[in-house]
Amino acid sequence: MKKIQIRKEIPTVKTIVVKTGSRILTADGHETRVKRLVDDLVQLQKSGIRTILVSSGAIAHGMRALNLQKRPTTIPLQQACASIGQNKLMHMYEKYFGVHDMIIGQVLLTWDDLRSKKRYLNLRNTFSQLLECGAIPIVNENDSVGVEEIQFGNNDVLGAQVALLAQADLFINLTDVGGLFDKNPHKDKTAKHIPVVSNVSSVQKLANEKKSEISVGGMSTKLKAAEIVNRAGIYALIGDGFDQRLLDLLVNENCATLFLPSNAKMSSRHRWIAFSGQASGTLIVDDGAKKALIEKGKSLLPAGIRQVKGSFKAGDMVEVTTLDGIAIAKGLSNYSSEEMGSICGCKSFEISGKLGHKNFDEAIHRDNLVLV
């Protein structure tokens, strides 16, 4: 198999997550685009690059089957469209991957699957086993049962979450434009393409919020997804999957924008803490604790905690905020909310006197804490 060409800025790639939008999969001529996409995914897989596809399109295909011109506004009808459309979507993938004798596996996710540490780890094992078997996982949100998923509104962030989960090296977000421009290229022919971005926050203002009747994601959600994976140390590409081939995006800077990661790769635990886990409570800290966390990279000690909010158990996720309500970190609490309420403001040597025991000196150990 011919070696896959990849842009020089990206080092060796072992795992790629590709997310494709609804319009690519449903607009006129979509069968040709899907066949082309599948051909390229198979080439990636056969070249030795582990490949995962995150696919939108279930609701859109259901709308087509029910002859609906506009995305339904009611959740039950959206769920019905998703149920009908997911079957059609997978049948289409089965047809084109079958031409290459390539095995695919369907994975339907809800946000609860990502927020639960146990289910998150089980999912990671599932992806690992599918890839080890030589299969290409095809992932979608489980819109037929999940209300929050539909209301959340797009698969861009889901794609980023899968990239974190699979510890991917590269996340590719396929859309109908060739990446990021300084103006809307559909409206202004003088728009200039931006080939590389080193800081996502510096280009957020360029996002275009226009959405189609079948798609609910705009460029801002794609930038949010890029920012998530970049923070975790993963490269991101946003590019044209409508008129261009996936393999061309990997090497041609004119049809995609590359977003460079700012940090070394986070551990799986830190990724879950930072981006997936849901906080059960809040610890409000003073300025001294804030400085120790942000500037000195220290653990959070009970002495710096001024207030405890919410109900949580030892080991649960909590958010850490400043006195003026700004979130600065997330982490796994060493104590329950009741225990934390008793020891907040205390020195470490005072913990046992307050609780009758002392399992830890720290409220949150640095190894279980991530700055946000």
Mean pLDDT of 181-210: 80
Residue 41 lies in a domain: yes
> Is pLDDT of 144 > 60?
no
CATH of the domain at 322: 2.30.130.10
Q: How far is the CA of 172 from the CAs of 26, 238, 256, 268, in angstroms?
A: 19, 6, 9, 20
User: Over the stretch 329-351, which tens digit does the pLDDT of each residue have?
Assistant: 999 999 999 999 999 999 999 99
pLDDT at 210 over 80: no
pLDDT tens for 63-108 read: 888 999 888 888 889 889 988 989 999 999 999 999 999 999 999 9
| Nearest residue to 225 (alpha-carbon basis) of 242, 238, 216, 215 | 238
Same domain for 297 and 216: no
**Which of 219, 247, 270 marks a domain boundary?**
270
Contact between 21 and 241 under an 8 Å Cβ cutoff? The reply is: yes
Q: Which of 238, 270, 302 is the last residue of a domain?
A: 270
Note whether residue 162 is domain-resident.
yes
Both 132 and 262 in one domain: the answer is: yes
More confident residue, 356 or 372: 356
Last residue of a domain, one of 231, 250, 270: 270
Total number of domains in the chain: 2
Q: Mean pLDDT, to the nearest integer, of 292-312?
A: 96
Asked whether residue 102 falls in the same domain as residue 184, the answer is: yes
Range of the domain at 306: 279-371
Give the pTM.
Answer: 0.86
Q: Hey, which residues does 17 pair with through a beta bridge?
A: 52, 171
